[in-house]
């Protein structure tokens, strides 16, 4: 084991070369394929960014049209998938159902993708985006006890997501452009984030040549945890707890600083960003806009802003470079959209999907070897077997 370097949590280990996302944690820079996240969030559509992440360039009008049409084509999900989702208790956490249902999609799409064939890969990409989106919304409909909705090819992807989630038969459903724009921005900001926990999981699972849906399903499971994507749910739970407790922000700041207390400020801190998270800046502004446009006055938004202010002036947080991350304000927007708390991480997953697919494609087409970290063994030395009746 002399040659093996231990790096718990891979804090300093590069696992691959990648041309997808550039991240400079010191300067708070995030770029997809060379484009600054601020520009993309302000100007692009989510599916355009998905195309950029996956295929490397922004699509031409013709390429974009073809991409959207192909995605639309694959939005019909096998009827038996409804029964699989039906089998879950309504109380099941949507991330667990989403991960299982995504894995189950393998059964309906059993032919492995030929990664050497661009046409095959293109189809697999469109299929994954289409079916995963539908399944994610069905998980919500099931939870709410609502009939499942289908994609309408006449409207855009974001409008479809909103309809698939919220439209109720026999009720007029009008789509608010402020909500469309906020959701579009949020999904773009979640699009990719280089070798984070879920993406590394997708690459690792995919490296064994397990299928694309199996790899995505593993990404959903990894994202679920509260130290990763699950933080967006945990942030709102924390803010509600602070509110219920009378809004004493200092008390919770002190809890987060107390090393004998397991409490952490959710939505704070990041493995790579040590200055600020550029996504959090945009999302905070978007939360302001959305709440204003919808005429919502949410006291937990004020608590969040107050919490941020106090933390940023506190030596504990300053000395450890702890800043609000992407999950700190995103939940406030999801809540304003009328989304159930347990669905927040599902929305993160819809946003991260293009990143997972892009990284899977890069890894497989780049011919990377199977991922297989080493270890430093700390267990027992060789010893003789003891028969059951002698133990």
If one asks whether residue 327 binds ligand CMC (CB under 6 A), the answer comes out as: yes
Nearest-approach distance from CB 104 to ligand CMC, in angstroms: 25
Would you state the structure tokens that stand for residue 137, as one six-digit string? 């919304």
Residues 178-207 as x/- pattern, contact with ligand CMC by CB under 6 A: ------------------x-----------
Binding string, 117-156, against ligand CMC, x = CB under 6 A?
Answer: ----------------------------------------
Residue whose C-alpha is closest to residue 306's, from 231, 244, 252: 252
CB of 99 to ligand CMC, least distance (A): 16
The answer to whether 265 and 309 are in contact (CB under 8 A) is: no
If one asks whether residue 266 binds ligand CMC (CB under 6 A), the answer comes out as: yes
**15 touches 203 (CB < 8 A):** yes
Structure tokens at 261: 């207390």
128 contacts 353 by C-beta, under 8 angstroms: yes
Q: Which listed range, 69-77, 129-137, 180-188, 261-269, lies at the site for ligand CMC (CB under 6 A)?
A: 261-269
Query: How far, in Å, CA of 104 to CA of 347, rounded?
Result: 20
> How distant, in Å, are the alpha carbons of 115, 295, 331 from that of 284?
40, 16, 10
Q: Which of 204, 265, 286, 358 binds ligand CMC (CB under 6 A)?
A: 265
Catalytic residue list: 270, 327
Q: Where are any strands of DSSP class E within the chain?
A: 21-24, 29-32, 35-36
User: Among residues 9 and 145, whose Cβ is nearest to ligand CMC?
Assistant: 9
Structure tokens at 158: 């974001």
Binding piece for ligand CMC, criterion CB under 6 A, among 45-53, 99-107, 147-155, 221-229: 221-229
CB 335 → ligand CMC: shortest distance, Å? Answer: 17
CA dihedral over 209, 211, 215, 216, signed as positive or negative = positive
What is the binding site for ligand CMC (CB under 6 A)?
9, 196, 227-229, 231, 256, 264-271, 320, 322, 325-327
């Amino acid at each position: 084991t002399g040659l093996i370097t231990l790096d718990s949590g891979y804090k300093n280990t590069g696992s691959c070369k990648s041309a997808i996302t550039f991240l400079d944690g010191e300067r708070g820079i995030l770029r997809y394929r060379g484009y600054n996240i601020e520009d993309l969030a302000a100007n692009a559509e989510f599916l355009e960014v998905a195309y950029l992440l996956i295929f490397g360039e922004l699509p031409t009008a013709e390429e974009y049209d073809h991409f959207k049409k192909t995605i639309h084509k694959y939005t019909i999900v096998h009827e038996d998938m409804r029964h699989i989702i039906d089998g879950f208790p309504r109380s099941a956490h949507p991330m667990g159902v989403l991960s299982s249902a995504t894995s189950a999609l393998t059964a309906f799409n059993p032919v492995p993708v030929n990664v050497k064939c661009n046409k095959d890969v293109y189809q697999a990409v469109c299929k994954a985006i289409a079916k995963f989106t539908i399944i994610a919304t069905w998980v919500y409909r099931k939870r709410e006890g609502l009939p499942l909705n289908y994609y309408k090819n006449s409207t855009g992807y974001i409008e479809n997501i909103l309809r698939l989630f919220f439209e109720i038969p026999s009720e007029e459903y009008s789509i608010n452009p402020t909500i469309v724009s906020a959701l579009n921005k949020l999904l773009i900001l979640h699009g990719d984030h280089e070798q984070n926990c879920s993406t590394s999981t997708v690459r690792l699972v995919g490296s064994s040549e397990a299928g694309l849906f199996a790899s995505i399903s593993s990404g959903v499971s990894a994202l679920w945890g509260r130290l990763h994507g699950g933080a967006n749910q945990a942030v709102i739970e924390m803010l509600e707890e602070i509110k219920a407790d009378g809004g004493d922000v200092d008390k919770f700041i002190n809890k987060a600083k107390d090393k004998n207390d397991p409490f952490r400020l959710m939505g704070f801190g990041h493995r790579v960003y040590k200055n600020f998270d550029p996504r959090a800046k945009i999302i905070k502004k978007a939360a302001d806009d959305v709440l204003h446009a919808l005429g919502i006055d949410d006291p937990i938004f004020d608590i969040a802003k107050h919490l941020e202010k106090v933390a940023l002036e506190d030596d504990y947080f300053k000395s450890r470079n702890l800043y609000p991350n992407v999950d700190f304000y995103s939940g406030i927007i999801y809540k304003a959209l009328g989304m159930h708390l347990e669905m927040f991480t599902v929305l993160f997953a819809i946003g991260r999907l293009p990143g997972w697919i892009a990284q899977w494609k890069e890894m497989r087409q780049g011919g990377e070897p199977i991922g297989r970290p080493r270890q430093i063994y700390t267990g027992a030395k060789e010893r003789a077997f003891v028969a059951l009746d002698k133990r």
